[in-house]
Amino acid sequence: MNLNSLFGLENETAVVVGGTGILGGQLAEALAGCGAKVAIVGRSEERGMERVKSIEAAGGTACFEQADAVNLESLTRARDAICERLGVMSILISAAGGNRPDATLPPGSDFCKLPLEAWQGVVDLNLVGGALLPSQVFGETMVQEKKGSIINIASASGMIPLSRVVAYSAAKAAVLNLTQFLAREWALTGVRVNAISPGFFPAEQNRKLLFNDDGTYTDRGQQIIGHTPMARFGDPQELAGAAVWLASHRASSFVTGQNIIVDGGFSSVTI
């Protein structure tokens, strides 16, 4: 067996919902680098086209389709357009997600005062837009074609109920549960469903939580570094290997319902 061929994604069409973000964008580039035609799906046309141009500059094939991950109709329109432009998708990465300040509990705050609207907003973005609707829309096509790999981007906080980000942690825990449900539901259809749980990777939504304006760690950032055996945050490129492995039908054909943790050892340390 040629091991290099295990990870080739030629003749595959991949969809990255949330590909306009830092993590999703890096994963889109990784799939394109292995030969997949990649559709970037997100709300920001500017950031989506920037990622498309980056992929094309490296010799890859990509397109952008504007859609809101929590809107069924816009996702359905994006799916139909992608099938027409790039062919039927066989890989889906659901990378939409994030937190919001009013759903984060500062030290000493009262959980009982957490606004319901904030809670629902975070759950909608991370569970509904981050797994449920993309799986329904793009998964439907994969089930019909009897081939597919769905990769949901969860979080280390979905396994460990971290302080402050209670709504985000609960939503990501639900993503892991839904991943296992779909893996079982679609096991005989040729569609595999797995998750990747990143540890702490600085991005737009958590940068101020981790870093001061001068680039030093906040108290929260320092606590996380102190709890991480590798004593650093992750780089988005360090998720690429896990994503390509799960995306490849040759490399991970017997892998479904799993949660691949990429966290520098954070989850191995007892709180």
Report the alpha-carbon angle 246-249-251, nearest 5. 65
| 3 state DSSP class of 18 | coil
pLDDT at site 75:
98
pLDDT at site 160:
87
Residue type, 253: S
Using the 8-state DSSP alphabet, how is residue 216 labeled? P
| 3 state DSSP class of 69 | coil
Domain 8-199+234-264, CATH 2.60.40.2310 — does that match?
no
Q: What is the pTM of this model?
A: 0.94
pLDDT at 271 over 70: no
For the chain, the average pLDDT equals 94
Residue whose structure tokens are 């954070």:
266
Q: Residue range 192-203: average pLDDT?
A: 93
pLDDT at site 49:
98
Domain definitions of the chain by residue range: 8-199+234-264
Of 164 and 127, the structure prediction assigns the larger pLDDT to 127
Q: Which of 64, 119, 168, 245 is catalytic?
A: 168
pLDDT at site 207:
81
Q: Is 217 labeled as catalytic in the residue annotation?
A: no
Of 204 and 24, the structure prediction assigns the larger pLDDT to 24
The tens digit of pLDDT for each residue in 52-101 reads 999 999 999 999 999 999 999 999 999 999 999 999 999 999 999 999 98
pLDDT interval class at 5 (50, 70, 90): confident
The tens digit of pLDDT for each residue in 129-170 reads 999 999 999 999 999 999 999 999 999 999 988 778 899 999
3-class SS string, 73-128: HHHHHHHHHHHHHHCCCCEEEECCCCCCHHHCCCCCCCHHHCCHHHHHHHHHHHHH
Question: How many Å apart are CA 191 and CA 139, to the nearest integer?
Answer: 8
